[in-house]
Chains A and B, each alone.
Chain A
């Protein structure tokens, strides 16, 4: 017997499980205030998921608003859709637009690594699809506990197989991302997923239900009992390993997993079917079903439209006929979309779905008035103003304060740490660092991803940025890179956010593309902890300031709070995705030295900056001091130089310097094609020159006869440039210090992840 609106009005004092659904008492009272009665069980379910941290951004909203103050134009064109839409869309010229967004699926991936990661990919792909775009690539920034921790051996292979299993089956090339290890992620891995989509300007679709009498069609998979409470119970609370069953509190069948189960084959059909529907121009509004499922899709579509909506829940195709109305509304079953279609187009819509064997059902219509009403077994179980569900959730001014420990952290610098002296110790340090989890070869992971499908992957990992051809005739393309450095962010969240932004920006420029816009995934601990909230606030300020100086907008993104184990939060981890545009992808630059006898130069200045570095971590297990100093104006000029040089075909290779400093960049550039290098560090302190992580630096190689052009470009851009040496032979030689055979470096670099996984039986 369902709890109807009529019944709710009669039984105002009936106790309700608002706390079990993740609501606070004042939030529950506000719902009663809005409705003028107690909510029905179905209404309570809807409000609880939509007012969850994950869906409502209630703790972050006041900060995220600052992104809206930034320019809404990119250096190459307009932003066609921005924050608040399923994903941001930017004009990239020639009538094309690109949409991209990064999201998190952290907690589900800890509970059930394969399905958590798989459905994380599925969710972001549907966001991109809902904008009217064909998804063309994914990137997955991943963070795990220590490589040798027993639980990493459970989480990592599952996550990687899930990312690959889902993305490969969709036919989406995986062209980048990160694999990072740190103890702070041990009980709380970070599984972020970025998707890129391409559309023509005229294909842009928005999530709104307009035109009374238009029909609401639910299509894709049938609705089951999976993922109930995913956004509220899993994603929006401090998390412990015990919460791996359902906590829906709704009295449904017990212990349903809150993690969704993915069916990538269905999603592939959904993509092709939806693109054919777009091409037929028969959709007036569209929304994917992700977190909060039908609750989200109905309330957001209705709220963004010009009327109300009526839905008959009995029409929703179910995998499990025993589901209650509130469970149907909360279910996060995957591979579902909702479209608003004019009546005369419905038949064609259903025909296209049938062609692709996709189940499609009319479940409601757009109505006059301003209510969202939902019926079940002939009685009304939901009657709400949709905006109060979708947009008028609580907004919190969470207290935040600079933690007392911050001064102590910053004072604990690296000057006291013993440094290697002499060629032998330096060489040993090189071999130790290339074999450390964060600098070693990641192909055990990335070889499980298809990077070739669709035939447009011009660059893919281990390149600094992934690059995709958009138009085969003109060569127009885009590049994307994601970066995050939680260690720097821990030392100084404002600077850390900007350093991540600058690194992703530089990685895109290194490939030859002009950086034009960002998306971000902000992974943090509990917003109820003022220390964490301070990190978050500083991060947003850092990104806003950084984007303002670089002249690029934030197009959207995602906040993931409650990433902590007990009282211990993860390192503050803003992951920044930067998108770049390149007029002709044949001008792209890749990271590896191409041939012997070419000149190698370093762009940018090196300072004694080792706080937060990989060296401090690996050799001294130390995290303290202040992160490298950033000069965004330099970053902008450096990027201009790189893009201009690439356009002229100046560089044989270009590689960003980041984790591990110059030596790691030289190692990676040498190993890529087995072409070594001999460098002369001059009078510089060789340890600082090799291992410092000063930002704003790039190693380039080029033919000797083109060196004057480089010097000229660098002078014009006011970027410091210094000759390092020459490529050739199968060794890495630092003159006067050491010579290491590439084979020895390669063996050390390749070993760690396969060894750790083999030891765990993978």
Chain B
């Protein structure tokens, strides 16, 4: 049986459809999860999708981090379940303190949508094992608040523990150390600003590089079973 991957829809989530489609295209069973009620009991992994949850009012991801479903997502993540936060989902993971650091307004102060080149900086995670260390990939990037910041100690720790997962080539937003994505210590929780779910179909994507993230988690889940 194909692993079941849940995608949470918060009010204001936008790329939930895309994430569900990508999950299905890559061979897992997509499961739609509602922020207010659904449990993560029936799924093997969870994706927090892009968008503007709760309008990004207060702070990006700040309200979503307290949505009822997040209590279970946090518990499951701490127990080792793979969790991927994409864009707004990354912001939610930071607000929920599953990942360190924060995402603030882009250096140029405008929303940026572009095909972004990245360097893979870690393959020791549940979501990147199918990539090669140092590999250059292209993923769609689109956000207004994608500039990764953290204090110096946190940055040192992330670097020291190999927890920077993706770095920008041609840094688009002023992120510290060109960081585009990071993971938790265990490597099961990954957050990144670019959108792998928008890079799974030749017809609508600048690349197919996003597939590797979904294939990685499938490998991870299959190996575990």
Q: How far is it, in angstroms, between the C-alpha of A698 and the C-alpha of B22 when the chains are bound?
A: 36
- For the complex, is A687 an interface residue (Cβ under 8 Å from B)? no
What residues on B are CB-neighbors of A458 within 8 Å?
A: 203-204
- For residue A755, CB closer than 8 A to chain B, the reply is no
Contact string against A for B residues 52-77, beta-carbon threshold 8 Å, 1 for contact and 0 otherwise: 10111100000000000000000000
Count, chain B residues at interface, CB 8 A: 29
Which residues on A sit within 8 Å (CB–CB) of B140?
452
B163 at the interface (CB under 8 A from A): no
Q: Are A171 and B51 in contact (CB under 8 A)?
A: yes
Assess whether A452 is in contact with B195, with CB atoms less than 8 Å apart: yes
Task: Select one of A356, A448, A453, A454 contacting B111, CB under 8 A.
Answer: A448
CB-based contact A165/B195 at 8 Å: no
Question: Which of chain A's residues has its CB closest to B114's CB?
Answer: A447
Known: A265-B55, A269-B12. A455 touches B111 (CB 8 A): no
Contact digits for A148-192, partner B, Cβ 8 Å, 1 yes 0 no = 000000000000010011001111000000000000000000000
Residues of B within 8 A of A263 (CB): 55
In contact, B14 and A452 (Cβ under 8 angstroms): no
CB of B10, distance to nearest CB on chain A (Å)? 11
* Chain A residues whose CB sits within 8 angstroms of the CB of B197 once the complex forms: 455
Chain A hits for B11, CB < 8 A:
265, 268-269, 356-357
Give the total number of A-B pairs whose CB atoms are below 8 A apart. 83
Q: Is the CB of A452 within 8 A of B113?
A: yes
A456 lies within 8 A of chain B by Cβ? yes
Chain A residues near B50: list those with CB within 8 A: 453
Q: Do B204 and A164 have beta carbons less than 8 Å apart?
A: no
Contacts of A762 in B (CB 8 A): 110
In the complex, chain B residues whose CB is within 8 Å of the CB of A168: 52, 111, 142, 144
The residue from A171, A266, A447, A586 contacting B203, defined by CB atoms under 8 A apart: A586
Q: Are B111 and A457 closer than 8 Å at their CB atoms?
A: no
Q: B15 contacts which of A265, A453, A586 (Cβ < 8 Å)?
A: A453
Q: Nearest Cβ distance between residue B200 and chain A, in whole angstroms? A: 8
Chain B positions 162 through 205: 1 when the CB is less than 8 Å from some CB of chain A, otherwise 0: 00000000000000000000000000000000010110010111
Known: A161-B111, A169-B52. A453 touches B18 (CB 8 A): yes
Residues of A within 8 A of B149 (CB): none
CA A171 – CA B14 in complex, angstroms? 5
Which B residues touch A264, using CB under 8 A? 52, 55
| Contact flag A455-B55 (CB < 8 Å), given A168-B111, A448-B112, A586-B203 | no
Expressed in whole angstroms, the minimum distance between the Cβ of B6 and any Cβ of chain A is: 18
From 12 to 66 in chain B, residues with beta carbon under 8 angstroms from any chain A beta carbon are 12, 14-15, 17-18, 21, 50-52, 54-57
Of chain A, the residue at the smallest CB distance from B110 is A448
B222 to chain A, nearest CB (A): 25
Is A449 an interface residue, CB under 8 A from the partner?
yes
* A contact residues around B142 at 8 Å (CB): 168, 450, 452-453
Q: Which residues of B contact A452 (CB under 8 A)?
A: 113, 140, 142, 195, 198, 204-205
Do A161 and B198 form a contact, CB below 8 Å, given A356-B11, A452-B140?
A: no
Q: Which residue of B lies closest to A168 (CB)?
A: B111
Query: What does the 1/0 interface line of A442-470 toward B look like (CB < 8 Å)?
Result: 00001111111111111000000000010
User: Which chain B positions have C-beta within 8 A of A457?
Assistant: 204
Task: Tell me the nearest residue of chain B to A588, going by C-beta.
Answer: B203
CB pair B18–A265 under 8 Å, yes or no, is: no
- Asked whether B54 lies within 8 Å of A265 as measured between CB atoms, the reply is yes
A139, chain B: closest CB distance, angstroms: 15
Q: Which residues of B contact A449 (CB under 8 A)?
A: 111, 113
Question: How far, in Å, is B206 (CB) from chain A's closest CB?
Answer: 9
Tell me the bound Cα distance from A44 to B14 in angstroms. 42
* Proximity bits, A246-269, B CB within 8 Å = 1, else 0: 000000000000000001111011
> In the complex, are the beta carbons of A451 and B113 less than 8 A apart?
yes
A582 CB to nearest B CB, Å: 12
**Residues A1-45 near B (CB distance < 8 A):** none
With A169-B55, A264-B55, A455-B17 known as contacts, the answer to whether A448 contacts B203 (CB < 8 A) is no
- A654 sits at the interface (CB 8 A): no
Residue of A nearest to B140 (CB): A452
A265 to B15 alpha-carbon distance, docked (Å): 14
A585 at the interface (CB under 8 A from B): yes
Q: By the criterion CB–CB under 8 Å, are A454 and B17 in contact?
A: yes
A455 & B21 in contact (Cβ 8 Å cutoff): yes
A454 to B14, CA, bound (A): 8
Query: Smallest CB-CB separation from B15: which chain A residue?
Result: A453
The answer to whether A450 and B113 touch across the interface, beta carbons within 8 angstroms, is yes
In angstroms, Cα B205 to Cα A364, docked, is: 48
Question: B20: nearest residue on chain A (CB-CB)?
Answer: A455
Tell whether, in the assembled complex, residue B113 and residue A448 are in contact, meaning their CB atoms are under 8 Å apart.
Answer: yes
Q: If A164-B111, A458-B203 touch, does A268 touch B12 (CB 8 Å cutoff)?
A: yes
Q: How far is the CA of A156 from the CA of B115 in the complex (A)?
A: 24
Write the nearest CB–CB distance from A588 to chain B, whole angstroms: 8
Docked CA distance A170–B51 (Å): 9
- Complex CA–CA separation, A447 to B113 (angstroms): 5
The distance in angstroms between the C-alpha atoms of A227 and B56, with both chains bound, is 24
B203 touches A169 (CB 8 A): no
In the bound complex, CA of A170 to CA of B56 (Å) = 12
Q: In the complex, what distance in Å separates the CA atom of A662 from the CA atom of B37?
A: 59
Smallest CB gap from B22: residue in A: A455
A50 to chain B, nearest CB (A): 32
Residues of B within 8 A of A585 (CB): 203
Cα-based distance from A490 to B50 in the complex (angstroms): 45
CB distance from A568 to the nearest CB of B (A): 32
Q: CA separation between A315 and B204, bound complex, in Å?
A: 47
Nearest chain-A residue to B115 (Cβ)? A452
Q: Which of A265, A268, A455 contacts B204 (CB 8 A)?
A: A455
Cβ A265 vs Cβ B12 within 8 A: yes
Determine whether the beta carbon of B111 is less than 8 Å from that of A171.
no
- CA–CA, A447 and B18, complex, Å: 20
How far is B142's CA from A164's CA once the two chains are assembled, in angstroms? 11
Q: Give the CA-CA distance A451 to B51 in the complex, in Å.
A: 13
A267 CB, nearest partner CB in chain B, Å: 10
- A451 to chain B: which residues have CB within 8 Å? 113
Q: Which residues of B contact A357 (CB under 8 A)?
A: 11
Q: Are B54 and A447 in contact (CB under 8 A)?
A: no
Q: Mark B195-223, 1 if CB is under 8 A from A, else 0.
A: 10110010111000000000000000000
State the CA gap A446–B114 with chains docked (Å): 10
Interface string of A559-598 (1 = CB under 8 A from B): 0000000000000000000000000011000000000000
Q: Pick the residue among B12, B110, B198 that contacts A455 (CB under 8 A).
A: B198
Interface centre among B198, B201, B203 (most CB of A within 10 A): B203
Task: Tell me the smallest distance from the CB of B173 to a CB of chain A, in Å.
Answer: 12
Given the complex, which residues of A lie within 8 Å of B113, measured CB to CB? 446-452
Q: Which of A265, A446, A455 has the most CB of B within 10 A?
A: A455
Complex CA–CA separation, A455 to B14 (angstroms): 11
How far apart sit A169 and B201, CA to CA, in the bound complex (Å)? 23
Question: A269 to chain B: which residues have CB within 8 Å?
Answer: 11-12
C-alpha spacing A449/B56, complex, angstroms: 17
* CB within 8 Å of B: which A331-365 residues: 356-357
Residues on A lying within 8 angstroms of B by beta carbon are 161, 164-165, 168-171, 263-266, 268-269, 356-357, 446-458, 469, 585-586, 762
Known: A165-B144, A169-B55, A447-B113. 12 other contacts (CB 8 A): A169-B52, A170-B14, A264-B52, A265-B52, A265-B55, A268-B14, A448-B110, A448-B111, A453-B18, A455-B201, A455-B204, A458-B204
- Across the A-B interface, give the 3 residue pairs with the lowest CB-CB distance, nearest first: A265-B55, A171-B14, A455-B18
21 A-B interface contacts by CB (under 8 A): A165-B144, A170-B14, A171-B15, A171-B51, A265-B52, A265-B55, A447-B112, A447-B113, A447-B114, A450-B113, A452-B113, A452-B195, A452-B198, A453-B50, A454-B14, A454-B18, A455-B18, A455-B198, A458-B203, A458-B204, A469-B204
